Amino acid sequence: MTYDVIVVGAGPAGSSAALMAARAGLSVVLLERGPYPGSKNVYGGVVYGRVLDDVLPGWWEEVPVQRWVTRRSTMVLTGTQALTVDFRSGAWGQAPYNGCTTLRSDFDGWLAGKAVEAGAQLVTSTVATGLIREAGRVVGVRTDRPDGDLRATVVIAADGVNSLLAKELGLLPKTDPKHLTLGVKEVLSLPKDVIDERFGVRGEEGVDVEILGCTRGIAGGGFVYTNRDTLSVGVVVSVDGLAKSEVRPEQLVADLKAHPAIAPWVQGAEVKEYSAHLIPEGGYDHLPQLHAPGFLLTGDAAGLCLAAGIWLEGVNFAIGSGLAAGRAAAAHVLGGAELSSYRKDLESSFVLQDHKRLRKAPALVLSDRVQQRYPQLIADLVEGLFTVTNPTAKPGAISLLRGAAKRNGVKLRHLAADGLAGGRTFR
Amino acid sequence: MGGLVVALLRCTDLRAEVDPLSGAITREPRTAALSASDAAALEHALRIGSAWGARVLAISLGGPEVEGPLREALALGAEVLRVATHQSYLEELVADEQALARALVTALAGELPDLVLCADRSADRGTGALPAFVAHELGVAQAPGLVSLELASLDGGETELLAERRLDYGRRERMRVPLPAVCSVEGAGVRLRRASLPASLAASGATIPVVDAALVPSAVRVVQARPARPRPRHLPAPTGTSRERLLALTGALLSHEPPVVVGPVDAPEAADALLEFLVHHGYLSRAPSGWAVT
């Protein structure tokens, strides 16, 4: 059997690629190893759907949303302190919205359904076990089904962070734990009205909380997302740091849930689900080669997940790269264009522009000082500012900063250097 | 031999969520699948159908969510048929299984199958009495609870169907099944084969034939379903040493009432014996108007 395009993996990247290729009139097979799209996937919880505006106009009217994120909070935690910067926007609660919490089993099924509507053939419970290569070109995949060889002009690998197909082709380097993080998440059940009350939201409004300083000094951070009647609570930590610390990831989640600033949110909740997943966070400087003859790499498999401090985005980058892969495959099959146009397309879109602009962010955000010193420094500084010391006169802010820096082993020149680096990174 | 072998499949959410707070059950259409018993029923149907040279028809009652497993059956070479029902969850709780059986037999359009295979039990306990009612509607024999089902060759090229059933104390019962029959199988001994990729691709785009079940609404109407919450029994906290408290809580070293064998008795006597048992253990009391739960 020969098709124009085989897409391996019906996650956001794979389904987007299949959607674009099928819309171009190509014969497309979308292979999924799970019994249905989204059955095995894990992510934090927020999808930013602006990338779908042109492809699926009015997508927000049918996407299986849990809540529309109208509050975005960034927290800095220490053992007993918490500083929160909280932003709320009414505009984010109205069409065309900004981001939503959704469950991957719902979202992936919806997006794969769009690809099927466009003409792609979805085959589930089928594992692509290897590539078929002829004369240095990928010409198909082998699957674990009887009579399971499938041939195509283009194979798009969207098979996740540990892409076996890309490894077989030598596109992915040997796994380096320094460029991977581990996301660990619990889904906690609470009645909707309790979530509304605790997080100060109504109706379909939701909250996205990103947290720094809750991982026992291991590089990473935490999150709390509100779903309709559940909370997603978890941490994302460096695999390298986690291994060295000898701390079990579930202990970090337990710490987070027990923190005085978090515990009131999750009190009385029942654990519905526990999951973990690797996340590629190497950034622009560690992207693999994205194409080979007859082969494209997209989504997490291509390391296209943005982890840059205040921006933690994966699904929209997966969709963006998947759409580009689908376009490149269509241009190749229909017009003979080179598959290298895929990289050029990504370079001209937000996918690689953001990665390129924020290429230094992973190293800065995961640096020892940002992770281990600054949360306590910031909390001490703010506590000093707001502690009334009468009858002693109020100390000056610079004096407080010097004291907090000294107590936390940070030299002011380091602070200035990191501030400058942060300014350059996020300019 | 030719003929028709029917696999009567129940496709349901094998990972239905029970809300830990409210007890509400959420069933996801996309996770509807065959249970191990249903998969075994389909595999037996395919094997026997192949041996007899018979058509194999996979039938499932339900909404569009059952089409996924039916496509799997289609890819394995079976004909498929969805008997559409439009029942809500509350209606399903009191579904008239005889009416369901009648709908299934009606869907066969007068064709009498040589063998009907179904699951001995389903994940949601929905199998219930359906196989028995199907056997009744077809007017054929029924063999429930089978752990194996095989064809034995007879003289003259004929075959007979031999079944094995689990009995108490680890014993087994071997039976010769007269045909036509309805057989319920456990999810044991066989594993459903995998469809080839070409067949799966062909089945993924195929249209599943649908007939409407046209069920008569049940005479019983469920207004509300609530989580099963047994009434808590108030027990005094044990006192004494930690060893004494542990013994009190576990009931170790205490005398227990031995099991009582009642019977053989007829149904009214058995009901009286059960009521006496519940009264004796404090679950029921006699009220002026009848029985009351304590």
The predicted pLDDT at position B259 comes to: 77
Residues A406 and A416: their CA atoms lie apart, in Å, by: 14
Determine contact, residues B77/B199, Cβ cutoff 8 Å: yes
B-chain residue closest to A141, CA distance: B197
Interface test with A, best of B15, B30, B74, B194 (most A CBs within 10 A): B30
CATH architecture of A2-66+102-172+288-359: 3-Layer(bba) Sandwich (3.50)
Q: Which of A154-168, A257-271, A289-303, B229-243 has the lowest mean pLDDT?
A: B229-243
Determine contact, residues A180/A276, Cβ cutoff 8 Å: no
Contact list, B31 vs chain A (CB under 8 Å)? 35-36, 39
* Residue A221 pLDDT > 70: yes
Q: What mean pLDDT comes out for the span B128-150?
A: 91
Q: What percent of chain A has pLDDT over 90?
A: 70
The predicted pLDDT at position A366 comes to: 78
The predicted pLDDT at position B173 comes to: 92
The predicted pLDDT at position B20 comes to: 64
A-chain residue closest to B206, CA distance: A121
Q: Per-domain residue ranges for chain A? A: 2-66+102-172+288-359, 178-280, 367-425
- ipTM, two decimals, is 0.82
A-chain residue closest to B71, CA distance: A123
A104-151 pLDDT, tens per residue?
888 999 999 999 999 999 999 999 999 999 999 999 999 999 999 999
Interface test with B, best of A28, A147, A229 (most B CBs within 10 A): A147
For residue B230, give Cα distances in angstroms to A323, B26, B233: 53, 21, 9
User: Distance from A245 to chain B by nearest Cα, in Å?
Assistant: 34
3-state secondary structure of A177: helix
Query: Under CATH, which number does the domain B4-212 receive?
Result: 3.40.50.620
Measured N-to-C along each axis, helices A350-357 and A315-335 cross at an angle, to the nearest 10 degrees, of: 130
Q: Name residue B81's beta-bridge partners.
A: B59
Residues of chain B with CATH 3.40.50.620: 4-212
Q: What are phi and psi of A409, to 5 degrees?
A: 70, 30
Please report the DSSP string for A186-227 in residue order: EEEE--HHHHHHHHT--TTEEEEEEEES-STTSSEEEEEEE-
| Binary contact (B196, A146; C-beta < 8 A) | yes
User: Distance from B25 to chain A by nearest Cα, in Å?
Assistant: 13
CATH 3.30.9.90, applies to A178-280: yes
Q: What are phi and psi of A96, to 5 degrees?
A: -90, 15
| Binary contact (A1, B197; C-beta < 8 A) | yes
Interface test with B, best of A30, A123, A143 (most B CBs within 10 A): A123
Contact list, B203 vs chain A (CB under 8 Å)? none
Strands (E), chain B: 4-9, 11-13, 17-18, 25-26, 32-34, 55-62, 79-84, 115-119, 141-153, 159-166, 172-177, 181-185, 210-212, 284-287, 290-293
| B positions 51-70 inside 8 Å of A (CB) | 68
Residue type, A294: G
Residues B28 and A38: their CA atoms lie apart, in Å, by: 13
